[in-house]
């Protein structure tokens, strides 16, 4: 008998669900029956992803949202609640990356933007949906971290610390929300082939230097992450909270 994982009747929000890892997560959640609202700035990307994933049992609904703007998070949740349902699953996946290079060259504007999109967005979204999850008896929150949140990437001050910040949000929220059956977990990928990580994989020499040093000597694909998110979102993970799953081809081993 095939192993199945059901998210039927659940409503999910996946930020940055229109491409890359977020799209792979959306595909798996919708395959398992969840209705998934995908939210990011570029509506046409979201609409294209929704059309591509339209054959899944769950609906995929595009909603334009700049997650760094608190009022747009509020509008996203209101729209989800009115058009789809009360939120059961949140995947904080949107990301930006500024200020790569020497730490002393990081500006306040870069710091503010990285905090807004990578950290504050998650806080605003989670704090908005938790009261309703609590009333309805539970929920699942997934924060997309990175191995850079565990082992600093050279020249990546802001990225490293925003991802480490998400790891601590995961653990803090897990402790606080556990009594309401709201589980909070994270996923920390290694190098995955997406637009975001293009610098690391497009140049063959750079890619081989990285991938050749991994125990599993290949580039990760978005599909390597999607099922893990579906698992964490589901009742199969009912006793799991406060953890960040590392999916990195063995790098941190």
Ligand X SMILES: NC(=O)c1ccc[n+]([C@@H]2O[C@H](COP(=O)([O-])OP(=O)(O)OC[C@H]3O[C@@H](n4cnc5c(N)ncnc54)[C@H](OP(=O)(O)O)[C@@H]3O)[C@@H](O)[C@H]2O)c1
Nearer CB in complex with ligand X: 20/58: 20
- Provide the minimum distance between the beta carbon of 125 and ligand X in the complex, in angstroms, as a whole number: 11
* Nearest CB to ligand X, comparing residues 11 and 145: 145
Q: Which two tokens stand for residue 214?
A: 């991994």
* CA distances for 11 relative to 61, 84, 134, 189, angstroms: 11, 7, 15, 24
What residue spans of the chain are helical by DSSP H?
A: 20-31, 43-52, 70-83, 108-115, 121-136, 157-177, 198-201, 204-211, 223-233
* Residue 10 or 193 having the CB closest to ligand X: 193
Residues that bind ligand X (CB under 6 A): 15-16, 18-22, 40-42, 45, 65-68, 93-96, 117, 144, 146, 189, 191-192, 194-197
Closest to 26 in 3D by CA, of 122, 142, 159, 189: 142
- CB of 54 vs ligand X, minimal distance in Å: 18
Catalytic residue among 89, 117, 159, 226: 159
What values do phi and psi take at 184, rounded to 5?
-130, 120
159 annotated active-site: yes
Beta pairing partners, 15: 39
Smallest separation (angstroms) from ligand X to the CB of 210: 10
Closest chain position to ligand X (CB)? 20
The residues that are catalytic are 159
């Amino acid at each position: 008998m095939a192993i199945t994982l059901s998210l039927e009747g659940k409503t999910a929000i996946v930020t940055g669900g229109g491409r890359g890892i977020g799209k792979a997560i959306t595909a798996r959640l919708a395959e398992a029956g969840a209705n998934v609202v995908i939210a990011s700035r570029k509506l046409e990307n979201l609409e294209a992803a929704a059309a591509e994933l339209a054959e899944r049992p769950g609906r995929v609904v595009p909603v334009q949202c700049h997650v760094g703007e608190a009022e747009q998070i509020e509008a996203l949740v209101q729209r989800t609640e009115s058009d789809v349902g009360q939120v059961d699953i949140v995947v904080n996946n949107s990301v930006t990356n500024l200020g790569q290079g020497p730490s002393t060259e990081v500006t306040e504007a870069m710091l503010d933007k990285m905090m807004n999109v990578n950290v504050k967005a998650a806080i605003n979204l989670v704090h908005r949906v938790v009261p309703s999850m609590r009333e309805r008896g539970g929920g699942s929150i997934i924060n997309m971290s990175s191995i850079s949140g565990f082992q600093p990437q050279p020249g990546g001050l802001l990225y490293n610390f925003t991802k480490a910040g998400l790891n601590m949000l995961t653990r803090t929220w897990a402790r606080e929300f556990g009594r309401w059956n709201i589980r909070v977990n994270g996923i920390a990928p290694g190098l995955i082939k997406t637009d975001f990580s293009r610098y690391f994989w497009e140049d063959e020499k750079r890619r081989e230097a990285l991938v050749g040093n991994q125990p599993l000597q290949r580039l990760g694909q978005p599909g390597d992450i999607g099922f893990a998110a579906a698992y964490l979102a589901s009742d199969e993970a009912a006793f799991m909270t406060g953890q960040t799953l590392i999916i990195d081809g063995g790098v941190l081993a």
